[in-house]
Amino acid sequence: MSTESLRIVWVYPDLLSTYGDRGNALILARRAQLRGMPVEVLEVRSDQRLPATADIYLIGGGEDGPQALGAQRLLADGGLHRAVAQGSVVFGVCAGYQLLGTSFFAKGTRCQGLELLDLSSDRGPTRAVGELAGEVDPRLGIPHLTGFENHGGRTHLGPGVSPLARVTTGVGNDGATEGAWRGKLLGTYSHGPALARNPDLADLLLRWATGIHQLPPLDDTWADRLRSERRAAVAAAARA
C-alpha cells in the first residue's frame, strides 16, 4: 500500500455513477475495514485533479455524454496513467470499462480512450440488457461471475489483455467473452454492483492492492445466498 491506509479513489461520481456504482466503493472499503485495514475513500469529481498515489481506482457506468467527457478529462489530467505506471489497481465498469480501451463509441462518434487496456468498443446490433453470468479466467482463482448488464456496446479484445470470463448467460463483450484484465487492471460490463454480487472479485482487488495473498475470510452468508438465488433464476430463465 502507498500509505498508512488503503486509499480508494472513486473517479468522477458526478459523471460516472448511473447504476449503483457507489456500491463498489462501499463494498471494498467495508471488506478492508473488517480485516482491520484503515481505509480512505476519496470521491474525486470531474472538476478536480485526480491524485496519482491511491491504491485502487474505481470507474463506474454512465450515459454517452458523461462517458465521453470523463475520458477527455482523464486524458487531460494524466493522473490515472501515472497511477497505473506506479502499480495501482484500476476497476472499470461498463462505460468505465470501455474508456480504459483504445476507443469507444458515444453519441455516434468514435472517442479516444485511455489506452490502458488493449481493447476497443463499438456499437452492437442490439442493446444488451439482463442478467450476465460467466466462468472466470481460472488464473484469477475466483468463482463464477454474476451481474446485470445494460449497454449498447460490443468490446473487441486485443492480444494484450485476457477475457475476465467466458459468458454463460448474457452478452458481455460479444456473447462469448466478458470483461478483460491485464496486470492489476480489470474491467467488466457487470453492474449489480459487481463487487456486491462477487465478493471474491472484491477480495482479488484488495489482494492486488495490498500484496497480501491470504486475506482472513469474512462472513458472506448473504452474498452467497444472493449468488445462489441469481444462479437459480438464470437457470430457470434458460429452461423456460
Partner 1 sequence: MPLRAKVASSVSRTAAALSRAAGRGDGSVIGGWIGLKIDPDLLAHLSAGRAIALVSGTNGKTTTTRLTTAAVGVLGRVASNAFGANMPTGHTSALAKAGSTPYAVLEVDEHYLAQVLEATEPHVVALLNLSRDQLDRAKEVAMMAQLWRAALVRHPDVRVVANADDPMVVWAATPPADPAQGHVPPHVTWFSAGQRWHDDSWVCPECGSTIQRSGGQWWCTGCPLRRPEPQWTVEDDGVLDPTGAWHKIQLQLPGKVNLGNAATALAVAAEFGVRPVDAVSRLGSVTSVAGRYAQVDRDGRNIRLLLAKNPASWLEAFDMADVAPTLLSINARDPDGLDTSWLFDVDFAPLAGRQVLITGDRAYDLAVRLDVNGVPFRHVRTFDEAVRAVPPGRLEVIANYTAFQDIRAELDRVN
Q: Pick from 6, 7, 21, 177: which binds partner 1 (CB under 8 A)?
A: 21
Confirm or reject binding of residue 30 to partner 1 (CB under 8 A).
yes
Beta strands in 95-138 (DSSP E): 103-106, 109-112, 119-136
Return the range that interacts with partner 1 (CB under 8 A); candidates 95-103, 117-125, 161-169, 225-233: 225-233
Rg of the chain over Cα atoms, rounded to whole angstroms, equals: 17
**CA atoms of 60 and 75, how far apart (whole Å):** 16
Nearer to partner 1, 90 or 223 (CB): 223
* Count of residues in contact with partner 1, rule CB under 8 A: 33
Under 8 Å between Cβ of 48 and 42: no
Q: Binding to partner 1 (CB under 8 A): which residues in 145-204?
A: 148, 150, 191-193, 196-197
**Pairing between β-strand 56-59 and β-strand 6-11 as defined by DSSP bridges:** parallel
Number of helices (H) and strands (E), helices first, in the chain? 7, 11
Shortest Cβ distance from residue 155 to partner 1 (Å)? 20
Q: Which is nearer to partner 1, 115 or 220 (CB)?
A: 220
User: In the numeric block, which cell numbers belong to residue 190?
Assistant: 457487470
Query: Per CB under 8 A, which of residues 37..56 are in contact with partner 1?
Result: 45-47
Which of 69, 99, 100, 171 is the binder for partner 1 (CB under 8 A)? 69
Tell me if 111 sits within 8 A of 68, measured CB to CB: yes
* 223 interacts with partner 1 by CB under 8 A: yes
Per the annotation, the verdict on 144 as an active-site residue is: no
* Residue 22 binding partner 1, by CB under 8 A: yes
Distance CA 146, CA 144 (A): 7
Q: Can residue 231 be called a binding residue for partner 1 (CB under 8 A)?
A: no
Query: Applying CB under 8 A, does 98 fall inside the site for partner 1?
Result: no
State the greatest distance between any 2 C-alpha atoms of the chain, in Å, as a whole number: 52
> Which grid coordinates belong to 218?
469474512
Q: Strand, coil or helix: what is 47? A: coil
Residue from 78, 87, 130, 183 binding partner 1 (CB under 8 A) = 130
Element (H, E) at 108: none
Q: Is residue 191 annotated as a catalytic residue, yes or no? A: yes
H or E element at residue 91: strand 89-93
Q: Which residues bind partner 1 (CB under 8 A)?
A: 14-15, 17-23, 26-27, 30, 45-47, 63, 65-66, 69, 129-130, 148, 150, 191-193, 196-197, 222-223, 225-226, 229
Q: Which residues are catalytic?
A: 94, 191
